[in-house]
Amino acid sequence: MHLAKGLTPVQPPRHVWPAIQRRLNLTTRQSARRIRSFALAASVVLVVGLAALLYWRSLPVDRATAVATISAKSGDHIWELQVFGNTDRLVARAAKLPARVPGSDYELWALPKGAAPVSLGILPAAGASSRTLTLMQKQALALSSQVAVSIEPLGGSPTGQPTGTIVYVAPLHAPS
């Protein structure tokens, strides 16, 4: 330090400091702006992502509250039933149907304990069907541990009770 006391300070030319910054890859104002812009964009994406996640988690989960598989004696699945208690829907999916008597439909029935069967509607001959359950149907399903399928005239039972042969009975249970 004693040697430097006698020296007079000299201001370097203006181009020296920018050259040093370039050689050392030091942050310049332009790159600082880029970093700030990137940080702002990343913050916006993060906030939007978190908001979407919170919204998605707040939606009600549409899970089946009861299911039944109606099968033939051979073990082939004929219909898969799902009851969605939170939206009052019944979804029936047809699988491998047996030959149907011409001029007839398969009708689904809830079998509440100690009460008469309650129609849940006509089962699809192909594909899937979805229907909204009435209050009476929901109550009957709540008291049922089984569902049945009968052969009825086209459009369903004219009396509101099974008039044809009961061809299938299946347990109704909570999904696993």
* Residues 120-154: tens digit of each pLDDT: 999 998 889 999 999 999 999 989 999 999 999 99
What is the signed CA dihedral for 135, 136, 139, 145, rounded to 10 degrees? -130
Return the CATH class of domain 66-171: mainly beta
List Cβ neighbours of 172 (8 Å cut-off, separation of 6 or more).
66, 67, 68, 81, 83, 110, 141, 144, 145, 146, 147
Lowest mean pLDDT among 26-35, 40-49, 59-68, 114-123: 26-35
Q: Please name which of 141, 127, 125, 126 lies closest in space to residue 90, comparing C-alpha atoms.
A: 141
DSSP lists the bridge partners of residue 29 as none
pTM of this prediction? 0.64
The structural domains of the chain, with segments of one domain joined by +, span 12-58, 66-171
pLDDT digit string, tens, across residues 65-103: 889 999 888 888 889 999 987 778 999 999 887 777 788
